[in-house]
Amino acid sequence: MGSTFQADIPGNKNIIVKSVASVASNAADTLNVPLFRAPQPLTVQAAYWMVSASQNSGGASTDYRVPKIMNLGSDASGTVVLASLALSATKAANVAHTMTLNTTAANLELAAGDVISYLTTSAGNGAAVNAAEVHLEFRMN
């Protein structure tokens, strides 16, 4: 039995959509934005990254950004990557680009109170990242 009535509904799915700002090309620039706090135990099922303007790779396969969705835990000190997407190739505008989920199933299980954030990191010298929307699909447990 689930922790709420919705958790017991077969195929229950919820989606969080958040807008995130752009990041300059300097490799030192990072963006870490809280997305939401898990109100109860959840399981991440999918994640997508969308831009309204085409996202260039930065011109080199070694210099790009990696948007990530992170589980910071209840004290915001965690480092679990839930999903990521290497921007090493140009990404088309207005397309839901599937982020790669963590391959360890237990890492996709969120506890009530876990803080989920959006983080960009650099590979090589980094590259500029356009403002985007992050979509996170989950089910309530």
User: Going from the N-terminus, what domains does the chain have, and what CATH number goes with each?
Assistant: 19-140 (2.60.120)
Residue 51 has pLDDT above 90, yes or no: no
Lowest mean pLDDT among 15-24, 42-51, 87-96: 15-24
State pLDDT tens for residues 115-131: 999 988 877 776 777 88
The pLDDT confidence band at residue 79, using thresholds 50, 70 and 90, is very high
Residue 72 has pLDDT above 80, yes or no: yes
In this prediction the pTM is: 0.83
**Which contacts qualify for 24-30: CB closer than 8 Å, 24 or more apart?**
24/128, 25/58, 25/125, 25/126, 25/127, 25/128, 26/126, 27/63, 27/122, 27/124, 27/125, 27/126, 28/122, 29/122, 29/126, 30/119, 30/120, 30/121, 30/122
